[in-house]
Structure 1
């Protein structure tokens, strides 16, 4: 058994060091074909890109009807951190010429998916995405991170307090820079600063009930963003 575990560990490290992974760390290939296939919108239509991680990606899988017959483009990639999203932001957001972008990011940074990150590092990456969008006349809808008491894939990191601090800084940035802020945290948090049990099975990812709370909140945010001067 020890030999098997050793082999698997060495194999995983080898995979991470292979040129194909190293050259596409932000997973730029993931949406290249879908991006190229996007239709040109009518003048009165407003494309909205959802940029995020597994919570965004899972939204399309669990609640596809939310995206049907709307100019909503889902560009979530499971497991991604904010530096990865920042690297693919031009390809997967700016080049799609949306009217607005919904940014939901940061929880995987707290989980250290791509290495240790400070709150400042996470905020800087998210702010960089927001500023890139604004520089290209794209409205920004900045979302709070969902509550998280612990990570099932990496226990003991105590993310609850970090989520609260990160959300406070994101809200402050939004207020100071006239950016729409969508608060998912407040209606989804339990008394331990974790995700309410009925809203997700693993304490991190929403189920149908969770997404049903998020949908009207983000649509309100999108509406507000589109009428901003």
Structure 2
């Protein structure tokens, strides 16, 4: 694991749900490109949708799926894969855990869900917003989980899907890094009383990537891949909700 360098990243203190202060590390080049956290985090992406959604209906258990393009693409299939379920997709293509943490309060906590399904980290490994150590990725995932639990929201932490190579940034050899974060996610979920969702094991091939029938580009699931994911997570959601 690469040690943190004070010169490599700029730290911003952000006030989040429940009054906690969180230090989020931003690569200097990202901060120079974007003059505000709104631009960086995509806070406007779901602002109108969140306002229109309103509070959950009495007697229902809203679940927010929170993530990047994998979650954003999956949300288009929720009506057929989770019929009748009050499931809400809040994924933004390309986002890293630092970006997601900044919008966690408005796109998760403020929606008053019973549970949140967090799937994130692969874009950090790809370096979408600059270099990120495994420890920094884990810190951001932990911060999201702890904010949710402090708000009485059940947490499902998802293993990062296997990737052999990123089409938009080849040569990074992400497979072992993904395995390392997933190992940490499983242990951390057990420590925090959260639910670990293993999307990695059913999909990984001998190279640590995904088969074409499950992800045509090696990263984003096909319809068949999403159906497998739905079959994995749905019983785990119901089990988590039953423990409320």
Q: TM-score normalized by structure 2?
A: 0.83
- Are 2:105 and 1:90 equivalent residues in the alignment? yes
Superposition pairs of residues 1-229 of structure 1, within 5 angstroms: 17=33, 19=35, 23-61=38-76, 64-229=79-244
Give the SS at the match of 1:197. coil
Is contact 2:75-2:88 (8 Å) kept?
no
Structure 1: gaps (5+ residues): 1-12
Q: Partners of 1:193 and 1:86 in 2: how far apart?
A: 27
Q: Partners of 1:90 and 1:22 in 2: how far apart?
A: 14
Structure 1 or 2, whichever has the larger Rg, is 1
Runs (4+) off by over 6 Å: none
Q: 1:23 to 1:59 in 2, by over 3 A?
A: closer
Structure 1 residues 124-149: Cα deviation after superposition (integer angstroms, max 9, x where no partner): 10010000000000000110000000
Matching residue of 2:7: none
Is contact 1:63-1:211 (8 Å) kept?
no
Q: CA deviation at 1:42?
A: 2.7
Structure 2: gaps (5+ residues): 1-28
Give the SS at the match of 1:133. helix
Structure 1 residues 21-47: Cα deviation after superposition (integer angstroms, max 9, x where no partner): 664210000000000001433321000
Is contact 1:62-1:207 (8 Å) kept?
no
Structure number having the greater strand percentage:
2
Give the SS at the match of 1:181. strand
CA RMSD of aligned residues (A): 1.7
Structure 1 residues 97-132: Cα deviation after superposition (integer angstroms, max 9, x where no partner): 000000000000000000101111101100100000
Aligned residues: 214
Structure 1 residues 176-227: Cα deviation after superposition (integer angstroms, max 9, x where no partner): 1211011010001101110122101100000011001100111111112112
